[in-house]
Structure 1
Amino acid sequence: MRDVLLVGLCTVDLVQWVTELPAPGDKVQSAGMNVAAGGPAANAAVAVAAAGGRPTLVTALGRHPLAALARADLEECGVRVIDLDPSRAEPPALSAVAVRESDGERTVVSRNASALAVPAAADLLEDLVAGAGALLLDGHHPRPALAAAGAARVRGVPVVLDAGSWKRVLDELLPLVDVCACSAAFAVPGAHDPVAALHGLGIPVVTRTDGPRPVRWSCAPPVAVAGGPNTGAEPVTPVPARDTLGAGDVWHGVLALGVACLGRVPGPAELPSLIRAANDVAGLRVSHVGPRAWVAPVRDREETR
């Protein structure tokens, strides 16, 4: 199954490319700009579509003109968008992004959706989960995230979490997660070893990305194999980094699509190949300047396979 359900944040990103990131109090002239939908779940949904999947994004946008811009961008990329807060008049979450041309490093100032009380929509999410091969969450919009994860656990649909940073909802959400895809900066409060702590909560698969460094992975029961190996690392192919915005989100989307196609929680035999596929697409993302410039090359590659 190539259907992936994503529940989480959609922003509007104003991206500008600069020679140098501005120091406090400085003004700089940009070399170019773009406006597009962004946010962890939205970027991941675009990656799912580019890699040949069928993504459905459940988020909160509203009826502001900027929300219409984000929706149109996502739909053009092949993402089905379901808005849980369609009558909201305020602007959607916004991000101002500066990307340094020399190495793709970025600085982001954002106003996320943490203040929004998005409804759980449990019945809707139960129906959507029933038609999905995997569920990807980014920890935003806690009530629908918990509703979707609970429905997925009942139906046996694998739950993948984009764990970039600790959020309060994770106390309730983590026990419902099957694959926890952590950033290098992710930490579990009070835990010296976040991977061990996550396994201790019953999460069978943990991955840890670290920019251009190898992606580490670890499997625990019930997917661990007697005698192992149940840990490993997959190298990241070096590419010229031209724009790193959303690269991690793209990685998570491709991983979730791989889990959906597998049809179950991956174990040590399958996980390395899923990670390599995610590494490859994320590498294409960072080697192209602009929020959508990488999409066509990924689609072209998938069509020739």
Structure 2
Amino acid sequence: MPGQALACGLATVDVVQVVEAVPEPDEKVLARASTVAAGGPACVAAMACAALGVPTRFVGAVGSGPLSAVVLADLAAHGVAVTDVAPPGLRPPVASVLVTEATGERAVVSQGAAGVTGYDPVSDARAGLLLDGVGAVLVDGHHLPIALEVARAATARHIPVLLDGGSWKPGLEELLALVDVAVTSAAFALPGGGGLEGLLAAGPGWVAASDGAGPVRWCAADGGRGQVEVPSVEVVDTLGAGDVLHGALLAQVARDGTGDLPGALAAAVSVASGSVTHPGPLGWAEAR
């Protein structure tokens, strides 16, 4: 029966350095703390969803080798089942992350999924196995050919498809036509503009946009409009807060469906707000 979740998209290895200030050109600074962990929008969302008690599967390009082992170990530690669609020889990209100690703000450099081809395809039969018992699917727009295969299979089975819209990516218009719920960042913009109304016109029936500590605005194809206030908290680290928001929303929809999306969004915002009071994207889960 439904109640499980599937997240499809990018996995990275995040090398995180906490610094007093981001260095200027040619400047060297001493890190206050350093970590190496699995990252990427869908990967972190999958771990967050699992941390909230929802059995979760991750579909992405993980590959083999020492970097892949970091990703697989973190996903396993959070109880996330993995389906690897990586082409031969792939290694997950490394993301360099600087977190400013005083504010929790982060700066990220990453190659993402650029240039990856030759995926192990997700046939309809394979998708059927992956989606068995799944109540909601999240895609982040990375590894687009795989995201499209998973989204088409979910749509055919009447499983809600959620989009983490961090930024616009070429070809995303095809994926948007398969999406039921899209939650974007403030940095997301359609090529032709149009804001949330333009995003609705692209296919989803319900859309929202986060804006850091500002309210999360939402609107629906039936004319509904509203916003969710973000609680005021003491920020330690903003890294992965958006990914946690999507993982928490995925958990809500997988368990309860799409009948109360404003309520599901409010619950997800609460989890994401709590996440920034701990170091790392999943420090809040480890502290539970």
TM-score range, shorter chain: over 0.9
State the AA in 2 paired with 1:99: V
Structure 1 residue ranges without an equivalent (≥5)? 301-305
Residue 51 of structure 2 corresponds to: 50
Give 2:137's aligned residue: 135
Residues 121-178 of structure 1: per-residue CA shift (max 9 Å, x gap): 2232232123310010000111111011111111100000001111112121111000
Partner of 1:176, secondary structure, is coil
RMSD of the alignment, in Å? 1.4
For 1:147 and 1:260, locate their aligned partners in 2 and report how far apart those are by CA, in whole Å: 19
Q: Which runs of 5+ in 2 are unaligned?
A: none
How many Å separate the matches in 1 of 2:90 and 2:147?
22
- Alignment partner of 1:281 out of 247, 271, 279: 271
* Counterpart Cα distance in 2 of 1:211 and 1:235: 11
Query: Shift of the alpha carbon at 1:22?
Result: 1.0
**1:97-143: CA deviation from partner (whole Å, max 9, x where unpaired):** 11011010011111212211123322322321233100100001111
TM-score, normalised on structure 2? Answer: 0.95
Q: For residues 81-160 of structure 1, what are the structure 2 equivalents within 5 Å?
A: 81-85=82-86, 88-117=88-117, 118-123=119-124, 124-160=126-162
Distance in 1, Cα, partners of 2:112 & 2:192: 26
In the other structure, the counterpart of 1:236 is 230
Cα distance between partner residues in 1 of 2:120 and 2:145: 6
- Conservation of the 8 A alpha-carbon contact between 1:255 and 1:277: yes
User: Aligned to 2:264, what secondary structure does the other structure show?
Assistant: helix
Letter in 1 for 2:282: R
Residue in 2 that maps onto 1:272: 262
Q: How many angstroms does 1:17 deviate by?
A: 0.5
Mapped to 2, the partners of 1:218 and 1:90 lie a distance apart of 39
Q: What residue number does 1:190 align with?
A: 192
* 1:169-193 superposed Cα distances (whole Å, 9 cap, x missing partner): 21211110000111111111113x2
1:150-299 aligned within 5 A: 150-191=152-193, 193-220=194-221, 224=222, 230-263=224-257, 265-266=258-259, 270-297=260-287
Q: Secondary structure at the match of 1:133?
A: strand
**Alignment check: 8 A CA contact 1:126 1:148 kept:** no
1:39 has 2:40 as partner: yes
The 8 Å contact of residues 173 and 202 in structure 2, kept in 1 or not, is answered as no
CA contact (8 A) 1:122 1:144 kept: no
| Separation in 1, partners of 2:210, 2:66 | 35
1:11 equivalent in structure 2: 12
- Structure 2 CA distance, aligned partners of 1:169 and 1:120? 18
TM-superposed deviation, 1:196: 1.2
Q: Give percent identity, aligned residues only.
A: 45
CA displacement, residues 67-107 of structure 1 (integer Å, 9 cap, x when unaligned) = 0111011110121111112x733431110111011010011
Q: How many residues align?
A: 285
1:214 & 1:77 partners in 2: Cα distance? Answer: 30
Separation of aligned partners in 2, 1:3 and 1:257: 8
Alpha-carbon distance in structure 1 between the residues aligned to 2:261 and 2:174: 25
- Please say if residues 216 and 232 of structure 1, whose CA atoms lie closer than 8 Å, have aligned partners that are also in contact: yes
SS at match of 1:294: helix
Paired residue secondary structure (1:127): helix
Match of 1:303 in 2: none
